[in-house]
Structure 1
Amino acid sequence: MVENCTEAMEFILEGFSDCLELRIPLFLFFLVSYVVTLVGNLGMMFLISIDPQLHTPMYFFLSNLSLVDFCYSSVVTPQMLANFFAQQKAISHPQCAAQMWFFSLFVATECYLLAAMAYDRYVAISKPLLYAVIMSPKICAWLVVGPYLVGVVNAVTHTSLTFQLRFCKPSVVNHFFCDIPAVISCSSSNTRTNRLVLLTLSFVLGTLSSGVILVSYAYILTAILRIRSVAGRRKAFSTCTSHLAAVTLFFGTLFFIYVRPSSRFSAEDDKVSAVLYTMAIPMLNPLVYSLRNQEVKAALGRLMQRRKFSM
């Protein structure tokens, strides 16, 4: 504990470069990315909701993934865009706590939603005749509620532990939002427990969700190899490629930031990685799933046809 500490009532978010030449291009780039994220995810949710042919477990999970992507990008990006031209990049403790809580909630939820989607693909490919029975509406609902419950536990744990710490003036957070490692790094308290809990919980949650995904794909690969025709193998594997791409980028980024030795901590590396999972991944997910999915393309075609006919 530091003596003569004046308790800070707000944090200063350092953000990106203060160079004017970089500030404007970065602002425009992130603004366009956020607009694409909103349009892509809200559009995916709308398309799935109105097209009866997409009312299947796979698209039920995809709709929830789009909702989570939309939410956790919106928790971070508007504040970051506003701070590009703000004189004081200040955020109060309650605002910072709320941002951390919701971000921790949605990130953990996405981990387990991706695991639920992997299990869904496993059942669809390995047990196609029992698919409708196994993936009943009740099971699908629990496979979505479960990730949210895990997210709540994750959010409550990290936010409550972080804001029990003491923060002295000036509390400068070397990040563009209230990310957990960046906030606890500017505390004057002993943060050993916080870092241990962050590492342990991230490792456990990440290992469990990625373990479900790896086991599911091991069974999927075994089932695909049993298919005799090359065309059949290609068709079966094509239903998983979009999900594999989303999983690789998402989990790779999170493990780089949250599961590594503190000696390798680099705030600048974290900012680059955070851009990936707060803006790039939510923007790319609906594009990947729509461009590589024939059913989504067909549903979009039917929507455009109906609109053309009504006009």
Structure 2
Amino acid sequence: MATINQTAVSEFLLLGLTDDPALQSLIFSIFLSMYLITILGNLLIILAVSFDSHLHTPMYFFLSNLSFNDICLITSTVPKMLVNILRQDQSITYTGCLSQVCFVLVFGGLENCLLAVMAYDRYVAICHPLIYTVVMNPHLRVLLVLLSLVISIVHALLHTLMVLRLSFCRDLEIPHFFCELAQIIKLACSDTLINNVLVYLVAGLFAGVPLFGIIFSYIHIVSSVLRMPSSEGKHKAFSTCGSHLSVVSLFYGTGFGVYISSAVTDSPRKAAVASVMYSVVTQVLNPFIYTLRNRDMKGALRKLISGKASPP
């Protein structure tokens, strides 16, 4: 098969989730609805945390950052898909595709890091309540978020810059609704050994360390809660962790599900459908998880909607 140099690549083709033209309108409506729900739900959380002084705590500071990241993550993929369906045009420019790869890795990685930071916050709050406000001071909160962002950017740039060295075949069709790193590497005609090693090595390290931190934190949290003499104290401690555990389970569960489905199926299109779970559905459900299970958040949202939120 003939190859062309990467500088000659002008565009890729995003094949989307289905070849059936009759389903395009339905897919457009579903994804537009999910996108708008995600934007509205996460914006409400950010506004509620910003305008209610009772929520100016480390836990809600990290939650508002997670909500903003969810908006950025879903915005890096869904709008381009909607535009392509609307225009009946599957193309995406070479630069646009690599930019999408980079943004998905940045915000996906940041979500991974923020979930670990939130687990650490719960660990300090429950296991060391007397020094919680001292440890989780405003400077440390900002530092943890910035450190998570820097790590995510470095991780994303590493993979994106490694893609720049690849040459591609003339068949530039991506069986996905966005430019996913693994699919881009598969299209290359040049040697991709280094890229594949980096994907498994760095991704394993980048995902494994935060996941280990979350598991470590919750082992200590559970151990500490079980030693509490009051059943009311146990219920309160577990309730503050319930939403975070639900989001962690959803994020990592769908991520591992996509990995397993990719390994057992020969159909890239089926793997693309499975990836909707971690790249779209997780961001849609996160606002509901944090508002429906959190009494303080529900109260803050009611005050915000009624215009009675206390200013910062």
Q: Give the structure-1-normalised TM-score.
A: 0.93
Q: Retained in 1: the 8 A contact 2:46–2:68?
A: yes
Cα deviation per residue 1:155-174 (whole Å; 9 max; x = unaligned)?
Answer: 10111111211113231111
Higher mean alpha-carbon deviation, 5-14 vs 183-192, is at: 5-14
Cα deviation per residue 1:38-65 (whole Å; 9 max; x = unaligned)?
Answer: 0011111111111111111000000000
Q: Retained in 2: the 8 A contact 1:44–1:66?
A: yes
Alpha-carbon offset, residue 151 of structure 1: 0.7
Alpha-carbon offset, residue 259 of structure 1: 8.4
Change (3 A) 1:240 1:261: same
Aligned positions of 1:291-302 closer than 5 A: 291-302=292-303
CA distance in 1, matches of 2:148, 2:21: 41
SS at match of 1:284: helix
Task: State the match for 1:195 in structure 2.
Answer: 196
Aligned positions of 1:297-308 closer than 5 A: 297-306=298-307
Change (3 A) 1:83 1:3: closer
Matched, 1:174 2:181: no
Alpha-carbon offset, residue 263 of structure 1: 7.5
Aligned positions of 1:1-311 closer than 5 A: 3=2, 5=4, 7-257=8-258, 266-306=267-307
Higher mean alpha-carbon deviation, 193-202 vs 16-25, is at: 16-25
SS at match of 2:288: helix
Alpha-carbon offset, residue 24 of structure 1: 1.5
Alpha-carbon offset, residue 290 of structure 1: 0.7
CA distance in 2, matches of 1:216, 1:29: 37
Change (3 A) 1:24 1:125: same
Paired residue type of 1:240: C
Aligned residue pair count: 307
Paired residue type of 1:45: I
CA distance in 2, matches of 1:258, 1:150: 23
Q: Give the structure-2-normalised TM-score.
A: 0.93
SS at match of 2:67: helix
CA distance in 1, matches of 2:254, 2:294: 25
Change (3 A) 1:141 1:4: closer
Alpha-carbon offset, residue 274 of structure 1: 2.0
Change (3 A) 1:296 1:114: same
SS at match of 1:84: helix
Higher mean alpha-carbon deviation, 99-108 vs 81-90, is at: 81-90
Alpha-carbon offset, residue 270 of structure 1: 2.5
Q: Retained in 2: the 8 A contact 1:8–1:170?
A: no
Paired residue type of 1:21: A
Paired residue type of 2:118: M
Q: Retained in 1: the 8 A contact 2:35–2:78?
A: yes
Paired residue type of 2:302: G
Cα deviation per residue 1:197-243 (whole Å; 9 max; x = unaligned)?
Answer: 10111100111000100000000000110112222211110111111
Q: Retained in 2: the 8 A contact 1:8–1:168?
A: no
SS at match of 2:87: coil
RMSD between aligned residues = 2.0
Change (3 A) 1:163 1:71: same
Where do 5+ consecutive residues of structure 1 fail to align? none
CA distance in 2, matches of 1:181, 1:265: 14
CA distance in 2, matches of 1:59, 1:288: 14
Higher mean alpha-carbon deviation, 140-149 vs 211-220, is at: 140-149
Q: Retained in 2: the 8 A contact 1:198–1:258?
A: no
SS at match of 2:169: coil
Paired residue type of 1:11: F
Q: Retained in 1: the 8 A contact 2:3–2:168?
A: no
CA distance in 2, matches of 1:187, 1:172: 11
Paired residue type of 1:222: S
CA distance in 1, matches of 2:260, 2:20: 32
Cα deviation per residue 1:237-261 (whole Å; 9 max; x = unaligned)?
Answer: 0111111111111122333445899
